[in-house]
A and B are shown apart, each in its own frame.
Chain A
């Protein structure tokens, strides 16, 4: 079965940090670009970050640039999102997504991040 499984979400105070992980199983990982997408409660979808298959190319949403860092470990079939200086407006479900440009797009089930004092 093809799966992406996110973990690492939780409750954190404003200014705090969290590291999200996304592990791939049953799916070829190394050759694909990966993304993080988030969805605030009751709101629409928002792309957050991109990392190319080799990690050579990385992009961020302006509002997270300098606070979030995306990375991947192809040997572990995993990508990560290090989130620092968290704000209330970062509260959302975070999804990892395999390659929007490919014939098959795969989404994880999401992990909830709540930033609140």
Chain B
């Protein structure tokens, strides 16, 4: 199974801050990775697909990068509506695996 190690597990940041979240895959997954945002009580929403492609309708302050085993989600200027939990998901091989999540909280 491919293990997705996501860090940090939580962070505190202020509005306007630049935030970076990392996922490391235990083996090469090419660019078969998506980033998801989840707010309490809601289903997740995909922000980034194929590691670096912005989902339609998602603000351009979100960006993704990486391939192979190292991936990054960046929020260039944190907005109040961005406080949520973020997950990476690899769909390169079964079982599909999520990272452990990063909870972004208000400082």
Contacts and interface: CB of A to CB of B under 8 A. Distances in A.
A105 B34 contact: yes
B43 A107 contact: yes
Contacts, number: 46
B49 interface: yes
Interface stretch (B11-19, B61-69, B76-84, B91-99): B91-99
A109 B96 contact: no
Contacts of B96: 35, 47, 50, 100
Q: How large, as a class, is the contact surface on chain A?
A: 20 to 34
Nearest to B92: A101
Contacts of A89: none
Contacts of A46: 98
Nearest to A109: B43
Interface of B: 32, 34, 36, 38, 43-46, 49, 56, 87, 89, 91, 94-101
